[in-house]
Amino acid sequence: MGTISFQQVQVEFDGKLVLAVEQLELTQNTIAVIGANGSGKSTFARLLNGLVKPSLGKVLVNGIDVGTDSRAAIKQAGFVFANPDVQIVMPTVIEDVEFSLRDSNLSKAEKRECAMAAISGVGLLGLAEAPAQTLSSGQKQLLAIAAITVRKPRLVIADEPTALLDAGNTRAIAKLLLGPAAEQVILVTHDLALAQLCDVAVHFEAGRVANIGDPKEVVAGYARQFS
């Protein structure tokens, strides 16, 4: 079981406080993070793998202080961005997934075997040799997930992974991420229906945790602001 712990955490950008979480512990498998733009959701997500460092306090993921140990943070966490084009770095689908294994101790044959299994797992086996940039938006997001999960990270953080997708591809991505894709999955999303499929929801407002608990209840409380 994965554990995320925030201890007196503050994040400041240019002298402005953008996130303040006094105490938070998350042990659930799938965690939805919701809130308006600028509420602190993405900052929260990026703290978990060291993309953002806390100005004060500690962020612990599975006992590792990810604010001070960037290498360990990156090793145990995979990050899926809203726009998969920023993650695709190699010419073909299979090469892109294999690239994620570049620092492993696997042989070339073992890397190919793992990459093919990951591609098959997201339904892209028939496109293994296809140029990555010719894929549809949904297929590119599936490729990005394969390239992350092939490393078998303990934590997967997905920041608006369905923002650019149609309903069909949204369902496919949701099924993969909530399958689950790792010991813990953080799903930052504006899709409130998707958020309700998680084990717990965290609502951020003005850089602070406004509510946490049962996803249906947290989502309902958040949605009432707009009714």
Rounded to two decimals, the pTM is 0.92
* In contact, 108 and 117? CB cutoff 8 Å: no
Separation CA 47–CA 26 (nearest Å): 14
Q: Tell the residue number behind the tokens 């995320």, with chain if given.
A: 4
In which residue are the tokens 């947290």 written? 218
pLDDT score of 168: 86
pLDDT attached to residue 71: 81
**Domain segments of the chain: what residues?**
4-226
Tens of pLDDT, residues 17-70:
999 999 999 999 999 999 999 999 999 999 999 889 999 999 999 999 998 887
Domain 4-226, CATH: 3.40.50.300
The C-alpha atoms of residue 35 and residue 33 are separated, in whole angstroms, by 7
Provide the pLDDT for residue 169. 86
173, two tokens? 């991505």
Q: Which two tokens stand for residue 8?
A: 């007196």
Residues facing residue 13 across a β-bridge: 16
Taken in order 90, 174, 34, 208, the sign of the CA dihedral is: negative
* The pLDDT of residue 182: 85
| Ranges under pLDDT 70 in the chain | none
